[in-house]
Amino acid sequence: MTEKILVIDDDLDTLRLVGLMLQRQSYQVSAASNGSQGLTKAFEERPDLILLDVMMPDMDGYEVTRRLRKNPATASIPILMFTAKTQLDDKVTGFEVGADDYLTKPTHPTELLSHVKALLARATPKSAEEMTTLTREKNGYLIGVISARAGVGVSTVAVNLGAAIHAQSKSDVIVAELTPGLGTTCLDLGLPPQTGLTDILGGATAEATREKVGASLVEHKSGVKVLAASENPRDVDLGARVENFTALAARLVSLGRYVVLDLGSGLPSYSQKLLAVCVERVIVMEGTANSIRHTKMLLDDFQSLKMDPKTISIVLNNRQRSEAQVPWKKAQEELGHPILTALTPVPELFLQAARLQTPAVVAQPSNMVAQQFIKIADGIIEREKAQ
């Protein structure tokens, strides 16, 4: 197989000369004229070797190397730095950030070629799985969980639905809490604070590789893999990174057979994009007049976004026993849309689940509410198999 070499240099003459020399040696060459473009090509193309200039205007080679080494998709790619800088400290900095070799310009073609061959010879061969990752990615079954307003238990429904699907299907299930700055899942499930979602949304879109997303998942004792949102309020600004959300979703469906997206409340731009590619949409509401009215408005928005009503399920989450709750049938009439199920209010079950730091369906699988989640999960599994 012909090795691919990525050359990153803002000097166009260097790009042409080095590229021509490598092509004459039968290498496949890709070129980038600045650091940002180089990162994008590295993440997308996964070259066998990177030749990297240090002095570039938008992002120097040191920063490019740091980012390449931070991402699992490019962490092991050999990097040969070449630059006009001759100071020992500059070379030391290059090695400290992760460069494998260092040459000073001007470099004789024979010397450059010998270093290229040596680095490629030392590189660990890619496994068959790594070689086919870009063409073999599967498509998981994407389920979006959302509500019109906050405080009705979207995260609880998403986590328990994911746990129920895993218990019934024995398949890989991912629950992704896509509410930056508003995370509760880490605390609820006893997981240490996570920064994966923040890093993915805060970085360049091309950096949201399958490997990086996979490394950000944490497996809970329930068997579900979790991508949790941060609790830092200032991270809510990351909700504007719509392209990163869509890239993230594309990677998630290549990592799990079932992917449950906790989209929180409201209908921001990124939720609209993600709901458009979901196979099923679950709306969570309470049996109160305000919640019903708000949910009706959300259903109207779904209709304006051309979402098939058959793909929309409504879960009535009555968390407290109260005479003020609107009966199931009356709520359904006011919505003008079927309600899939009404969860029985059992606060003691969810209190126990919180103490055990596990989903309610795992804490008491035989409980009525757990069985309701399992019934929903069984329906999703059957529809996934049919497709």
Six-digit token string for 131: 């070689």
CA–CA separation, 68 and 75 (whole Å): 6
pLDDT digits (tens, 9 = 90+) for 41-90: 998 888 999 999 998 988 999 999 999 998 887 888 999 998 776 666 77
Q: Residue 125 has what pLDDT?
A: 58
Task: Enumerate long-range contacts of 325-334, CB under 8 Å, 24 or more apart.
Answer: 325/286, 325/287, 325/288, 326/287, 326/288, 326/289, 326/292, 327/287, 328/287, 331/285, 331/287, 331/292, 334/292, 334/296
Mean pLDDT of 311-316: 96
Which pLDDT score, from 0 to 100, does residue 1 have? 55
Q: Residue 186 phi/psi, 5° resolution?
A: -55, -50
Q: How crowded is residue 86: how many other Cβ atoms within 10 Å of its Cβ?
A: 9
pLDDT over 50 (residue 129): no
Instruction: Tell me the per-residue pLDDT of 336-358, one tens digit each, with 9 for 90 and over.
Output: 999 999 998 888 999 999 999 99
- Per residue in 348-384, pLDDT tens? 999 999 999 999 999 999 999 999 999 999 999 999 9
Taking only the tens place, the pLDDT of each residue in 288-306 is 999 999 999 999 999 999 9
pLDDT over 80 (residue 147): yes
pLDDT in tens, 20-46: 999 999 999 999 999 999 998 998 888
The pLDDT tens digits for 154-201 are: 999 999 999 999 999 999 999 999 999 999 999 999 999 999 999 999
Please state the three-class secondary structure of the chain as a single string: CCCEEEEECCCHHHHHHHHHHHHHCCCEEEEECCHHHHHHHHHHHCCCEEEEECCCCCCCHHHHHHHHHHCCCCCCCCEEEEECCCCHHHHHHHHHHCCCEEEECCCCHHHHHHHHHHHHHHCCCCCHHHHCHHHHCCCCEEEEEEECCCCCCHHHHHHHHHHHHHHHHCCCEEEEECCCCCCCHHHHHCCCCCCHHHHHHHCCHHHCCHHHHHHHCEECCCCCEEECCCCCHHHHHHHHCHHHHHHHHHHHCCCCCEEEEEEEECCCHHHHHHHHHCCEEEEEECCCHHHHHHHHHHHHHHHHCCCCHHHEEEEEECCCCCCCCCCHHHHHHHHCCCCCEEECCCHHHHHHHHHHCCCHHHHCCCCHHHHHHHHHHHHHHHHHHHC
Reported confidence tier of residue 133, pLDDT bands at 50, 70, 90? very low
* Listed residue (277, 290, 239) closest to 142, CA to CA: 277
What mean pLDDT is predicted for residues 301-315? 95
**Per-residue pLDDT at 88:** 65
**Per-residue pLDDT for 126 more than 80?**
no
pLDDT at 206: 83
Q: What are the structural domains of the chain? A: 4-134 (3.40.50.2300), 137-386 (3.40.50.300)
| Burial of 85 per CB tally in 10 Å (0-12, 13-18, 19+) | middle
How far does CA 137 lie from the centroid of its chain? Answer: 14
Q: What is the pLDDT of residues 203-256, one digit of tens each?
A: 888 888 888 999 999 999 999 999 999 999 999 999 999 999 999 999 999 999
| Residue 127 pLDDT greater than 70, yes or no | no
Average pLDDT of the residues of the chain: 90
pLDDT mean over 303-311: 93
Question: What is the C-alpha separation between 99 and 21, in angstroms, rounded?
Answer: 22
